[in-house]
Amino acid sequence: MIGRIHPEYFIGLNMLKLKILGFARDVILMISARKSLTLVQDNGEESIA
């Protein structure tokens, strides 16, 4: 039972992992972009961005 892992199941797990990693990366990018936007607004200088 343990020795026979279906390739489709393994591929599905890899795809799920890639989706989760991509989603986490997008969230991190959104948060960092929002922080840099708030920093620009606080300083009142658009040239920093």
pTM over 0.75: no
CA angle 40, 48, 37 (to 5 degrees): 30
- The one-digit pLDDT tens for each residue of the chain (49 residues) are 456 768 888 889 999 999 999 999 999 999 999 888 777 666 655 555 4
CA distance 14 to 11: 5
* Alpha carbon distance 21, 29 (integer Å): 12
48 in Cβ contact with 40 (< 8 Å): yes
- The predicted structure's pLDDT at residue 35: 86
Q: Which stretch of DSSP H or E encloses residue 36? A: helix 7-43
- Dihedral pair phi/psi, residue 11, rounded to 5°: -65, -40
Per-residue pLDDT at 24: 96
Q: Where are the domains of the chain?
A: 7-40
